[in-house]
Amino acid sequence: MKEQNRRRIDIISSAEFTNNLDSLDLDELRSRRQMCSDLDTELSYYRRLLHGRMDILGFESRRRTGEEKRSLLEALPEILAHGASVGGAFPERAVPVEAPEIPAVGRRAVDKVLGDDFIARLPDLTEEEITEAQARLTEVETGVSDQRRTVHGAIDILQAELTRRYREGLSDPADLLRG
């Protein structure tokens, strides 16, 4: 696979990433699974940032209509805590708490929308601007979620191949403890 100058999501999304896995050595399989895991962590982090902003804008809209009496500052801990436990269920895959190493500035839609300073300008935004910001955040979050589903699909395929090799005795599970 030519991986130079290609985004990880493009590499993982390509059919060749998960085709003919039985011809790859164990280290390459693990390397691909690690690439997926790293990208999943990054995408999950982006989703948490997007959801936080979406929740803040939603709160501001409710505050302006009188549904909410507290200030944003008073409600911020609750707003952010609520987003961390959507539905009260544990995430399907464990996600580290620390921020992954991601570029400070990027060209992707998620970088642009997260770089928008609308939160600093929140008191001055019109309802229309809030609605537009919410729509942009929702659109980008949908794209990030779609990418995560792609990554999870690749992880499942790679994990199934690794499991098959261990089950059929083609790889030694003790190697996991050694390396």
| Contact between 31 and 161 (Cβ < 8 Å) | no
Q: Is residue 151 a part of any domain in this protein?
A: yes
Cα-based torsion angle of the residue sequence 110, 115, 120, 124 in order, rounded to the nearest 10 degrees: -70
Q: Is residue 39 a part of any domain in this protein?
A: yes
Q: Is residue 165 a part of any domain in this protein?
A: yes
Structure tokens at 13: 């999304």
Q: Is residue 148 a part of any domain in this protein?
A: yes
Q: Is residue 10 a part of any domain in this protein?
A: no
Domain span at residue 39 reads 26-84+104-169
Instruction: Give the count of domains, the chain.
Output: 1
The predicted pLDDT at position 178 comes to: 47
Kindly report, residue by residue over 78-134, the tens digit of the pLDDT: 988 875 444 444 445 454 556 666 655 567 888 888 888 888 899 899 999 999 999
pLDDT for residue 47 is more than 70: yes
